[in-house]
Amino acid sequence: MKKVIRDFECAMCGRCCASQDLIQLTAYELYRLAGHLGMKPEEFFGRYCVIVSTAHNPALHLYIKTVEGKCPFLKDNRCSVHEARPYACMAYPMRVYWSLVEDMKAFVRSRYPGLEETCSLFRLDDRDVLLGDFELLSRQTMAWWVDEAYFSMAGDKADLSIPYRVADYYIRDKDMMETAKRYIVNPRHPPSAFGAEVAYARISLMLQAAMWNTTASFVPIKGQEAREDVRIGKYLLLTTDGGPARALRLLVEGGRLDLARTLGIASDAYEDRHIIASIHGSSHDHIALGLVFHESGTSIRELTDGGKKPLHVFFKPETGDDAKLVGFPLNIKI
């Protein structure tokens, strides 16, 4: 009979802290660690961190450098920053909310073969189920999503205050954290099953706005339909609230939307649908407007002539006519 284990009892052997090439970190955690040590984030990064890609994670990411395989904060076989240690250390051995002990043992053996002699994980029955700290893993997931999106945009020339601020904002956002929680319960499902792709798109747009040093707001999309006009050809009409529609009109007609980026489309694993995420900003007004919506791949191909033309989007208020539509083109890849 399986036993559910909610509290993993660490043996305090210190071997996981002394068997690392690099230690997973995020900008959000870096600021927390730096504050705990009374250091400036820039000083902490320069002394302890590196932004690199690895064999296990080919994307650029932030890590704590080890010294001969040991964490620099391991002192007398104990963690000297225990209260502010990285989420990966707090969550060990869990990476998701639940896991069979057998599967977790296989993962640890593959990464840290020396731990089998001392880690209390290996004293548990293979058939038991381990449960992680739900809130902790959700914060870790959100901070990781933010960093992953940021480094894909900024490379290693990073201003870590940007992902820190965005992660701090979204970790306090109830709806976004609910998405992270749904995801960690079963990350084997496609991200689209839990809205993670949309959350990731919103994170990316917020990061871009921060990189432009603008305040970001999202345009709520309440409806959409494909249309055609003799002047511009096929376009997508998006329905939104009256306020955002008026703000868009003022910025577009005043020629003030001089910043633009479309971050691409994420494919939905279940249907022929895509997520379109785009942000337009005004460097003069320090305002950025983001929009995220779904559209079928078939419709996108028709609206863009198979990807040869930009996708023209126009907006109309939820209550109003089409006489004063305002919009702009989105350059997307399909």
pLDDT at 325: 82
Instruction: Take residue 305 and report the two structure tokens written for it.
Output: 């002539």
Strands ordered across the beta sheet of 215-218: 215-218, 287-296, 273-282, 259-267
- Residue pair 89/29 in contact by the 8 Å Cβ criterion: no
Alpha-carbon distance values, 268 to 99, 146, 273 (Å): 26, 20, 6
pLDDT at 248: 87
What are the sequence ranges of the domains in the chain?
4-135, 142-212, 217-330
For residue 306, is it left (φ>0), alpha (ψ between -120 and 50) or beta?
left
> Which residues, given as ranges, of the chain have pLDDT below 70?
1-2, 187-194, 265-271, 320-323, 334
pLDDT at 38: 97
- Euclidean distance between CA atoms 27 and 63, whole angstroms: 10
pLDDT at 4: 79
pLDDT at 196: 84
Specify the DSSP class assigned to residue 244: H
pLDDT at 334: 64
Instruction: Take residue 298 and report the two structure tokens written for it.
Output: 């078939």
* Gyration radius (Cα) of the chain, Å: 23
- The pTM score is 0.90
pLDDT at 188: 63
pLDDT at 23: 93
- Residue pair 237/302 in contact by the 8 Å Cβ criterion: no
- Residue pair 277/197 in contact by the 8 Å Cβ criterion: no
pLDDT at 323: 62
Instruction: Take residue 112 and report the two structure tokens written for it.
Output: 């840290």
H helices of the chain, in order, are 27-37, 41-48, 87-91, 101-111, 134-154, 161-171, 174-185, 196-211, 242-253, 297-303
pLDDT at 55: 84
pLDDT at 266: 56
- Residue pair 304/329 in contact by the 8 Å Cβ criterion: no
